[in-house]
Amino acid sequence: MEEMNPWSSQPTVDLAKLFSDFGIEPIENVLDLLPEVPFFMRRGIVIGHRDYGQIAMCIRENRPFHILTGFMPSGHPHLGHLMVMKEVVWHVQQGGNGYITIADREAHAVRDTSWAKCEAYGREYLACLYALGFEGKTYFQSRNNRLKDLAFESSIRVNYSELQAIYGFSSETSLGHMMSVITQVADILYPQVESIPAPTVVPVGVDQDPHIRLTRGVAHKLRMFTVEEREGYISVRSKNAPSGALEAVHARYPGSRKYEGHVDIHGGTCADVSATVRGIELASGGFGFVTPSATYHQFIPGLQGGKMSSSIPESTISFSEPDEIVKKKVMAALTGGRATLAEQRENGGEPERCPLFLLNLFHMVDDDRELAELRQKCRTGQMMCGQCKKETAERVLSFIHDMREKMAAVEHLIER
């Protein structure tokens, strides 16, 4: 299987192959579990998941869960970052414990961004999040000693061959780059150390799946026990648990049978036994991690096609750009229009291939009926690209102005 590069500004991701090769499931499979389906799932922006069912059930049953994502501060935040931010805010509103990491170690190691710029860009990301309504905990990787300890512990469970297989690393890859990967593993597991072990969802773009796969493996390796349902009983098997912990499992279940390395329990449910074993693991100095979940969203295309990326300035719009530059970029954007006006009037445009329509779908048009009308006008040739660009530019400028005002109003939250 071909590895993906999470740091590329021009990823080529075959979604069907990604799903089949790596076991990502369509998000449609779990939508019925949610009391409310958010717009980013309803509109097909979020397309896949790993173990999101456990998150949906936490929302439905009002049980604890965590929501975490991170941002690499190698440039100004822009419209391409908004979707993950909105996903985090929505999950916090559904009862999740919110965590944001500013991945300054990654930016410094991978993009050679100075620490001073990491600080400045990181503050901008936090301002955007608070402006969108984020509530929760935030931190910079480089300043979180507990995170660094967890990264070190995680690194013991990962070898070079595994990193090579997942990321395509070579002998030319710096140790700093590899350390930034392990730090991201620790980021994903961190909420369960800072708070309590609980299901954790990490919303990411599909190109970030290598980090999710690596972390799920590390979470499993750091557990003291595995709990498995067998025919007629539940087996609790020690992986690296101290002898006292295995004895505690045996003592907790009268009538259970203790063998060398495992305890067999008759009666009870696997979920209840797992919860009890997790408590024993925590009391014995273990982590008791719940394997983290993930949602995967499609990329919002850049204004000139490809990926919207900070490293391609013409592809995106940041929140600090002058109005005239914003308008100029929108008016110069690629569209899904035909070669000539006559052909477009006759055959209509192709909104699903248009970066501007998708910008409206992702962020600029909240009302589904208004969006459907915009799509229909494009497809039937009732609206030409020039008119669509003007209307989209007005929406983008209005949105940018609103974000700037909100970001200024929440600046005090960054200091706190």
**50-109 pLDDT per residue, tens:** 999 999 999 999 999 999 999 999 999 999 899 999 999 999 999 999 999 999 999 998
Residue 318 corresponds to which amino acid? S
Cβ neighbours of residue 184 closer than 8 Å, sequence gap 6 or more: 70, 103, 106, 211, 215
Specify the pairing of strand 233-238 against strand 262-265: antiparallel
| 298, 266 contact by CB (below 8 A) | no
Supply the Cα-derived Rg of the chain in whole angstroms: 24
Given a cut of 70, the residues of the chain with pLDDT beneath it are 1-15, 18, 337-340, 416
Token output for 322: 């002058």
Closest C-alpha among 126, 129, 104, 130 to residue 117: 104
Is the Cα dihedral 349, 350, 351, 353 positive or negative? negative
| 92, 67 contact by CB (below 8 A) | yes
Task: Give the burial string for 203-224 (b: 16+ CB within 10 Å, else e).
Answer: bbbbbbbbbbbbbbbbbeebbb
| 286, 241 contact by CB (below 8 A) | yes
The residue to which tokens 């773009």 are assigned = 205
pLDDT of residue 337: 66
Token output for 257: 């049978």
pLDDT of residue 52: 97
Residue 121: its H or E element? helix 115-131
pLDDT of residue 170: 86
Cα–Cα dist 77/156, whole Å: 34
DSSP state of 289: P
Closest C-alpha among 5, 86, 94, 85 to residue 55: 94
Task: Give the burial string for 271-298 (b: 16+ CB within 10 Å, else e).
Answer: eebbebbbebbeebebbbbbbbbbbbbb
Contacts 24+ apart (CB under 8 A), 28-33: 29/53, 30/56, 33/57, 33/60
Where do the H-state alpha helices sit in 284-384? 323-331, 341-347, 355-359, 368-379
Q: Is 373 helix (H, G, I), strand (E, B) or coil?
A: helix
pLDDT of residue 416: 62
pLDDT of residue 252: 95
